Amino acid sequence: MYPGGDDVSREGMVALYLRHCSGSEISCKFKFLIRDTSGKVVEEVMSPEHPMFSAEKDAYGWKDFTKRSKIINPANEVLKRGTLTVEVRIKPDDDHCCLNFIPENDCAQNILQLFQDEDTADVVFEVKEEEAAGAQPPTSALFHAHKLILCSCVQKIQPWHHSVRRVTSHLCPL
């Protein structure tokens, strides 16, 4: 951002550019928004196509993004305690998107790794077969779980989560 414009801007204009800093190429559509203090958009510009950012062409934007007077005028209520916030929205072009542009969210994988983890479990379910008259003693299986995950998924367990503290055994009909 050039608050006083750059060397090719018209007088009184703010210049704003999106610069690509990694070594890889990426194509993306982008837009800049400025909102007033109530959240209403007062300025919005969008790239006309999916420009290709590369080592040769690493920045795209507008030499005359908006009038500086529009931003600093207190009646427009754009500055918040003297600070301008520019919202930037970027949508990568799937055909030219580098793999590292959008970080992978490994939260689901981390939660799956907690499944049946005896070391970190704070709940153990013992599931027994029903006893039949005259049959062998019922077999049982242990299932290790985490209260936080269970309570976010199952409403029936939520009251139990808040009432059970450091109890070694608690029957909870499911």
Residues of the chain with pLDDT under 50: 167
Average pLDDT, the chain: 80
Note the pTM of the prediction, 2 decimals: 0.52
pLDDT of residue 90: 86
pLDDT of residue 40: 92
Question: Domains along the chain?
Answer: 13-96 (2.60.210.10), 107-163 (no CATH)
The per-residue pLDDT for range 132-172, each reduced to its tens digit, is: 777 777 788 888 888 888 777 766 555 555 555 554 555 55
Q: Which of 11, 6, 9, 14 is nearest to 71 (CA)?
A: 14
